[in-house]
Structure 1
Amino acid sequence: MARRVLRAGALAGVAFVWLSGAVWADEARRIAFSFDDAPRADGPLLSGAERAETLVSGMARAGIDGAAFFVLTQSIDQQRDGAARLRAYVEAGHVLANHTHTHPWLRDTDPATYLADIDRATEMLDGFDNVVPYFRYPYLDEGDTRDKRLAVVAGLESRGLQNAYVTVDTYDWYMQALVNEAVEAGHPLDMDRLRDVYVEVLVETVEFYDALAVETLGRHPDHVLLLHENDLAALFVEDLARVLREDGWDIIPAADAYADPIAETRPDTQFNGQGRVAAIAHAGGASPRELVSPWEDEAALRARFLANGLLPEEGSSQ
């Protein structure tokens, strides 16, 4: 299959170029899957329990091992069978990690309060197996000031927690919001077309950040893909993995990805919302507008859904 690549030199113009599979063919490209905000509430297509079962079986068929689930611990008791769903992920060979208790923005929180929220999550995770010492910032928000960022970094280090950065940020959460909107409007969904749009958007986003990594680092790092534990992930994870492999990617456990040298690279920047590679590029002088995938834009995604008949046309009635 031809490889979809966004040339890093044309990032500002967001122009996609199709290159032959021979490009970079001698270099391994590896990516790990991670899922934020588990266990989430029932969705419009699947209940929480159905989602967990579908996601576990889909990853098993796809050969995805050691995925990381970042747990929002207030949801364990709030969601029906929340603890059982997390244990299902563990029993399938995946790992759990800390995503705070209440999902605060660090920019709106003082470091002491923020770290206390992390501590509460740690206490709640003590009752589970396969909990790894990773912490992922909600919203990838590492604070609005350097002092605040460094205070939390010091707090994480004192607790033995590693920053579970991502290298591929996505707006999968907004695609799920668009599906919610369509279902609420009574709009019939073509599930094959929805699958294709979901997978295409995510693969194009992976290629964007990998091209950025090659231009910034001179190599392909082991990537960490940010997804959310939502209906779309459960329904289409197997398809996403298949297309990534067709495009030359190996899918690896999160623990392997976090052994990449960029885990030790801590760019001195507040521009962290697009992940570690974009932060490194920004610290090196790149403009923020060059560092954000074109599919991290709500208007662009809405237009793509509309063009594919996945939303009702404005003004139409169902």
Structure 2
Amino acid sequence: MNTLRMGRILFASAAVLAACISAHSQQIAFTWDDVPAHSALPPGETRVEIGRKLIDAMKAEHMTGVYGFVNGVATEREPASEPVMKDWRAAAFPLGNHAWSHMNLNTAALADWEADVLKNEPILEKYAAGSDWHWLRYPFLAEGNTPEKRDEARKFLAEHHYRIAAVTMSFGDYMWNEPYARCVAKNDTAAIAQLETTYLDAASQDAGFRRAMAKALFSHDIPYVLLMHVGAFDARMLPRLLKLYREKGFSFVTLEEAEKDPFYKTSLDPSLPEQPDTLEGALQAKGLPLPPRPKMTVDVNGICR
């Protein structure tokens, strides 16, 4: 074999290897629940300011296609929060459906939940016209407390042309927002510093936990869909959180890009028979053990009480 041909073979092999590595690289699709208002509001802040902090941090990282999932009832409870949706769309970020009142399908009647999803559509048509807002994030990640309810909910979503925004990464970010508001009210800077440290630690440990599950299932990473909430502390921490993920080797992709992975097949098409849409569920379905779940070292709910 001559040197030129050998060089071509080596080059082709390297290209194939690079493509495989790229296909299974560490990727996260950020998604945000409870637009336009989530959790307690610290003194001196507004919902609009929180939304703009989130948008500015994501734009600084050149993130695109970041979905915000809307609960329209917030516009009645906090009318001043409504411009958050206008700002979100002005930043070219899409909106999706999180049901009008954040109704829990596990405890509500199916017909009531379906009506709650449909009630949310006019506000999406108002702010997200011309974009693909037919993505549904189950409130409380509750998909139905019986197989029959789950199947009927999926049938409803398919009939209304929805795709499901699955969740494969979540470190419970919502838990820090209420303590933060209390600490701001008390001007307790030491406690706020503790919240900052524990928040980043939780995100770091959770990333390892999710990757361990994906490796056990597939021997490689999948694109992860990260659940976040539009809270005041999330807005404070987002630049540092994005930096943390970057340092861990993650890149940021859109929800649509992430859910092209075969793992999300039944989330993209609710008319298909249901399969596990969480990594934990997939492990259980295969009879594989769950990796050790990260444990909180501090009860953040007790801070600034």
CA contact (8 A) 1:178 1:302 kept: no
Q: Could you give the per-residue CA deviations for residues 112-159 of structure 1, whole angstroms, max 9, x where no partner exists?
A: 211111111122211112342110111101111100110101000000
User: CA offset at residue 292 of structure 1?
Assistant: 7.9
Question: For the structure 1 residues 281 and 43, does the alpha-carbon distance in structure 2 shift closer, same or farther, using more than 3 Å as the test?
Answer: same
User: CA offset at residue 32 of structure 1?
Assistant: 0.9
User: CA offset at residue 43 of structure 1?
Assistant: 1.4
Q: Could you give the per-residue CA deviations for residues 241-282 of structure 1, whole angstroms, max 9, x where no partner exists?
A: 11111111111122211222112147857xx7xx62222122
Q: Could you give the per-residue CA deviations for residues 45-64 of structure 1, whole angstroms, max 9, x where no partner exists?
A: 63211101211111112222
Q: Aligned residue for 1:311?
A: 303
Q: Does 1:87 align with 2:86?
A: yes
CA contact (8 A) 1:31 1:222 kept: yes
User: CA offset at residue 183 of structure 1?
Assistant: 4.1
Q: Aligned residue for 1:195?
A: 196
Q: Aligned residue for 1:36?
A: 33
| Secondary structure at the counterpart of residue 201 of structure 1 | helix
Matches of 1:158 and 1:175, distance apart in 2: 37
Q: Could you give the per-residue CA deviations for residues 54-112 of structure 1, whole angstroms, max 9, x where no partner exists?
A: 11111112222221101011112332333311111111121100000011111111212
Normalised by the size of structure 2, how large is the TM-score?
Answer: 0.81
| Secondary structure at the counterpart of residue 95 of structure 2 | strand
Q: Number of matched residues? A: 276
Normalised by the size of structure 1, how large is the TM-score?
Answer: 0.78
Q: Does 1:278 align with 2:275?
A: no
Matches of 1:192 and 1:66, distance apart in 2: 31
- Which structure's CA Rg is the greater one? 2
Q: Aligned residue for 1:3?
A: none
CA contact (8 A) 1:39 1:79 kept: no
Q: Aligned residue for 2:107?
A: 108
Question: For the structure 1 residues 292 and 163, does the alpha-carbon distance in structure 2 shift closer, same or farther, using more than 3 Å as the test?
Answer: farther
| Secondary structure at the counterpart of residue 221 of structure 2 | coil
Q: Larger % of helix: which?
A: 2
Residues 194-273 of structure 1 aligned to structure 2 (within 5 Å): 194-265=195-266
Residues 11-30 of structure 1 aligned to structure 2 (within 5 Å): 27-30=24-27
Question: For the structure 1 residues 188 and 230, does the alpha-carbon distance in structure 2 shift closer, same or farther, using more than 3 Å as the test?
Answer: same
Q: Which amino acid aligns with 2:114?
A: L
Q: Aligned residue for 2:3?
A: none
Question: For the structure 1 residues 176 and 99, does the alpha-carbon distance in structure 2 shift closer, same or farther, using more than 3 Å as the test?
Answer: same
Residues 16-165 of structure 1 aligned to structure 2 (within 5 Å): 27-40=24-37, 43-44=41-42, 46-129=45-128, 130-165=131-166
- 204-213 or 151-160, which deviates more: 204-213
Q: Aligned residue for 1:5?
A: none
Q: Aligned residue for 1:19?
A: none
Q: Larger % of strand: which?
A: 1
Matches of 2:47 and 2:56, distance apart in 1: 14
Matches of 2:192 and 2:49, distance apart in 1: 17
User: CA offset at residue 185 of structure 1?
Assistant: 5.5
- 130-139 or 158-167, which deviates more: 130-139
Matches of 2:184 and 2:293, distance apart in 1: 27
Q: Aligned residue for 2:294?
A: 294
Question: For the structure 1 residues 190 and 107, does the alpha-carbon distance in structure 2 shift closer, same or farther, using more than 3 Å as the test?
Answer: closer
Matches of 1:105 and 1:184, distance apart in 2: 31
